[in-house]
């Protein structure tokens, strides 16, 4: 059971990391809109684990490799669970989280984004059976051809049961286009990868600017 949980957490971390990576490195050519706060982009290293304690400006986690990590937070830290915002006060010991951040000048690990993982998310990833991620290079009816440096070119088949999501919102196959980066969950059937879910878009916390204060 413990091995399955570690594997599931690892798969979710791949999804989280891939989404953030593509948000930074995968902007289409010709897009010149700069990020609102480039110094706060999610460019740091991800860590994951189970919360053991929560303080006013930090929390402690036990990582999947058995080591511990102190995670500092500040007013810029974004907290998410599923598609809703949460706060530091909502976190508690026993919660499974993924954190993206980077070291400050005092060599403390400061969180930029914290995602609390629900039991339903773990269950979905346990049942996913496989994953393919990359940039769409062609779309032919019910088949998407994607490419990434690790997996090379892969064909992702979809059908009427495939769910499509962008930034947490339901979309359709017609909304996808060549150049989009996707993360597909599914399984191998009859020599092809059949997707049960296709995710695209970016993982970002809500913007916080002076207009919202």
DSSP notation for 120-176? HHHHHHHT---EEEEEEEEEETTEEEEEETTTEEEEEE--TT-EEEETTEEE-GGG-
Q: Are residues 68 and 108 in the same domain?
A: yes
Where residue 12 falls among pLDDT bands split at 50, 70, 90?
low
Which of 97, 123, 149 is the endpoint of a domain? Answer: 123
Domain encompassing residue 109: 2-123
Query: Does residue 116 sit in the same domain as residue 132?
Result: no
Residue 16 lies in a domain: yes
Please tell me whether residues 51 and 115 are part of one structural domain.
Answer: yes
Q: Answer yes or no: do 118 and 154 share one domain.
A: no
Specify the pLDDT at position 189.
76
Longest dimension (CA), the chain: 55
Question: Do 67 and 169 have their domain in common?
Answer: no
> What would the pLDDT profile of 40-78 be if each residue is shown by its tens digit?
333 456 788 899 999 999 999 998 778 899 999 999 999
Number of domains in the chain: 2
Residues 24 and 114 in one domain: yes
Residues 41 and 107 in one domain: yes
Cα–Cα nearest to 5, from 44, 52, 54, 50: 50
């Amino acid at each position: 059971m413990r091995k399955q949980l570690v594997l599931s957490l690892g798969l979710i971390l791949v999804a989280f990391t891939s989404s953030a990576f593509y948000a930074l490195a995968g902007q289409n050519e010709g897009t010149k809109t700069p990020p609102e706060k480039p110094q706060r982009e999610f460019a740091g290293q991800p860590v994951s684990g189970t919360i053991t304690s929560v303080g006013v400006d930090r929390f402690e986690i036990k990582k999947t490799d058995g080591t511990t990590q102190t995670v500092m937070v500040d007013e810029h830290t974004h907290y998410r669970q599923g598609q809703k915002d949460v706060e530091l006060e909502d976190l508690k010991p026993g919660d499974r989280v993924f954190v993206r951040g980077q070291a400050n000048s005092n060599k403390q690990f400061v969180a930029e984004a914290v995602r609390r993982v629900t039991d339903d998310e773990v269950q979905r990833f346990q049942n996913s059976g496989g994953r393919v991620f990359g940039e769409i290079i062609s779309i032919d009816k019910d088949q998407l051809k994607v490419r990434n440096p690790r997996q090379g070119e892969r064909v992702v088949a979809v059908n009427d049961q495939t769910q499509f999501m962008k930034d947490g919102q339901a979309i359709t196959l017609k909304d996808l286009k060549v150049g989009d980066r996707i993360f597909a969950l599914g399984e191998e059937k009859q020599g092809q990868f059949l997707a049960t879910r296709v995710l695209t878009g970016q993982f970002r916390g809500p913007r916080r600017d002076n207009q919202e204060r």
